Amino acid sequence: MNKDLLEAAYNSEDFRKRGHQLIELMTDHLKNTLQEKNNKVIDWELPGEALQNWQSFLNHGSAEQLFLKVLQSTTHIHHPRYMGHQVSPSIPIGALSNLIGGLLNNGMAVYEMGTAPTAMERIVTDWLCEKIGFAKEARGFLTSGGTLANLTALITARNMKVKDSWDDGNNQPLGIMVSEEAHYCVNRAAKIMGLGEQGIIKVPVTQQWSLDTEQLENYLADAKSKGIHVFAIVGSAPTTATGIFDDLEALSHFAQKHDLWFHVDGAHGGAGVLSSAYKHTVAGIDLADSVVIDGHKMMMMPTLTTALLYKNGLDSHATFSQKADYLLEQSESEDEDWYNMAKRTFECTKTMMSLHWFSILKFYGEEIFDAFVTRLYDLGSEFAAMIDRNPFLELAVKPQSNIVCFRLVRPDMTEQALNELNLAIRKQLLEAGRFYIVQTKLKGIVYLRTTVMNPFTQTTHFQQLLKAVEHLGTKLT
């Protein structure tokens, strides 16, 4: 064994020195990115080029240059011209809580493997339950991402609504109802649970892109006629592609009428419960049996942390066990065992993610979440209004959040040609790297998709982006 190597790697004075250097680098990076001194949002290279670069760096580069090189050559979410996928520019205190969690490395599966973060997790999830409007029997936990949280909630739903399915498996065809515009992870969860394609009952959306509640009864009746036992319905708050919210009150009403589990996928917009101006977007969220809210989307946290919250906390103990003992407990008791997290989470080991939630609350108070969500949703409306005024641009739908989809249009071009043009525009934007936006296809039409994630993005950035889009439109036709 090379004992010297281990000693060098764990040398605490080395850590101090490198740590100070790294904080200096990160601080400069943060400042330069927020203030646009770094001109590029993304330093685009083809995957193969990046692979070669990093392979060659591993073989020949200097370790002293590693952190600087990463800072310089990847995607910069703190840039005000970043308007791409829905990940937060992480709040600096979150970078620090990530750092301390990275060193302490508490495994979290049982209380003894993370006493402080377990208590913090209870506090922050209780706080979120209260903000949702749940009563005191509500309980939640944190888990690794919206994808895993949605799967976990649907497993709970099945165990609560289809007795003995945990032990016996699916011995009848089962199904869930969901908007055709829901995030793909709901589809994936259903497939993992063995529901098959027929078990994902996709309800169409209205012209305004929210689940068409008038069609619910028909779709349920149709599923029943095929012998499918539908046990859950998922509401999107909002859907990922368009950022439009389902009518959660109507979905809850339908769920109650038919004894379905009502799950709200609020990965993006669940944080709206914290916005005084936009709370109405999630009206009815308190009627859900379970709710997912991502910390790393609209709550400024570093990836990856998601809250899964249950209206009745005891239900969460049914996810991975069919034993009825827990369910028989009427209220909080010594047996509730909230503190051994792995009994309820998909993960065994997980990161000390509660540190992020707790730190932000402690340093800045819950008002900061209101400020963040409200500012970004306001910016979404402002941007959409600018697009709407431009005769060569077309909104997919008037936004209800910070997700704004639009395209360049030309009266003389076919839909096919417009699709190709908008794809080409987005490709050139990516390659130039001055902006980062994405694209989506809605009912066959290609749109440029933006999510305003940076509270320091301003009118001038929107103007610059629209000008760039128009300029490329002219150049490419």
Ligand X SMILES: *Cc1c(COP(=O)(O)O)cnc(C)c1O
Q: To the nearest 5 percent, what fractions of the chain are helix, strand and coil?
A: 50, 15, 35
Query: How distant, in Å, are the alpha carbons of 114, 293, 317 from that of 109?
Result: 8, 21, 14
Per-residue binding letters, 324-353, with ligand X (x by CB under 6 A): ------------------------------
- For residues 294 and 314, which CB has a smaller minimum distance to ligand X in the complex? 294
Question: Interaction with ligand X in 303-322: which residues (CB under 6 A)?
Answer: 306
| Contact characters 159-198, ligand X, x per CB under 6 A | ------------------------x-x-------------
Q: Which residues contact 93 (CB under 8 A, 6 or more apart)?
A: 359, 360, 363, 364
Q: Nearest CA to 260 among 177, 322, 170?
A: 177
Among 33, 38, 86, 401, binds ligand X (CB under 6 A): 86
Q: What is the x/- site pattern for ligand X, positions 42-81, by CB under 6 A?
A: ----------------------------------------
Query: Which has the closest alpha carbon to 396: 430, 444, 464?
Result: 444
Dump the DSSP string for 223-277. HHHTT-EEEEEEEESS-TTT-PPP-HHHHHHHHHHTT-EEEEE-TTGGGGGG-TT
Query: Which residues 409-438 are close enough to bind ligand X by CB under 6 A?
Result: none
Residues 95-134: x where in contact with ligand X by CB under 6 A, - otherwise, as a string: ----------------------------------------
Query: Min. distance of Cβ 265 from ligand X in angstroms?
Result: 5
Least distance in angstroms from the C-beta of 14 to ligand X: 35
Beta strands (DSSP E) in 146-210 are: 174-179, 200-203
Only one of the segments 31-39, 145-153, 194-202, 431-439 lies at the binding site for ligand X (rule: CB under 6 A); that segment is 145-153
Length of the chain: 477
Distance between CA atoms of residues 70 and 10, nearest Å: 23
User: Three-state SS for 172?
Assistant: coil
Choice between 201 and 234, CB closer to ligand X: 234
Tell me the closest approach of the beta carbon of residue 269 to ligand X, in angstroms: 8
Q: Tokens at residue 357, please?
A: 């939630």
Residue 289 within binding range of ligand X, rule CB under 6 A: no
Shortest Å distance, C-beta 308 to ligand X: 11
Nearer to ligand X, 131 or 183 (CB): 183
Smallest separation, CB 220 to ligand X (Å): 22
Quick check: helix, strand or coil at residue 56? helix
Of 110 and 442, CB closest to ligand X = 442
Cross-strand pairs, 265: 236, 292
Residue of 145, 235, 313, 455 that binds ligand X (CB under 6 A)? 145
Residue closer to ligand X, measured from CB, 269 or 313: 269
Which stretch in 43-51, 139-147, 214-222, 281-289 sits in contact with ligand X by CB under 6 A? 139-147
Of 160, 183, 243, 164, the C-alpha closest to 209 is: 243
If the CB atoms of residues 296 and 317 are measured against ligand X, the closer one turns out to be 296
Q: Is 210 left (phi over 0), alpha (psi -120 to 50) or beta?
A: beta
Q: Nearest distance from residue 180's CB to ligand X, in Å?
A: 13
Q: How far is the CB of 108 from ligand X (least distance, A)?
A: 18
Q: Which is nearer to ligand X, 421 or 438 (CB)?
A: 438
Alpha-carbon gap, residue 13 to 451, rounded angstroms: 42
Please tell me whether residue 146 binds ligand X under the rule CB under 6 A. Answer: yes
Tally Cβ neighbours within 10 Å of residue 123.
14
| Of residues 38 and 319, the one with the C-beta less far from ligand X | 319
300 lines the binding site for ligand X (CB under 6 A): no
Select 98 or 236, whichever has its Cβ closest to ligand X.
Answer: 236
Q: Please tell me the distance from the alpha carbon of residue 161 to that of residue 155, in angstroms, as a whole number.
A: 10
* Range in contact with ligand X (rule: CB under 6 A) among 68-76, 121-129, 141-149, 408-416: 141-149
Sequential DSSP letters for 287-307: G-SEEEEEHHHHT-PPS--EE
Angle of helix 367-389 relative to helix 354-364, nearest 10 degrees, comes to: 90
Number of residues near ligand X (by CB under 6 A):
13
In the region spanning residues 211 to 270, those forming contacts with ligand X, defined by CB under 6 A, are 236, 240, 265, 267-268
User: Edge to edge, what strands does the sheet with 393-395 contain?
Assistant: 393-395, 403-408, 445-451, 438-442
Q: Which residues bind ligand X (CB under 6 A)?
A: 86, 145-147, 183, 185, 236, 240, 265, 267-268, 294, 306
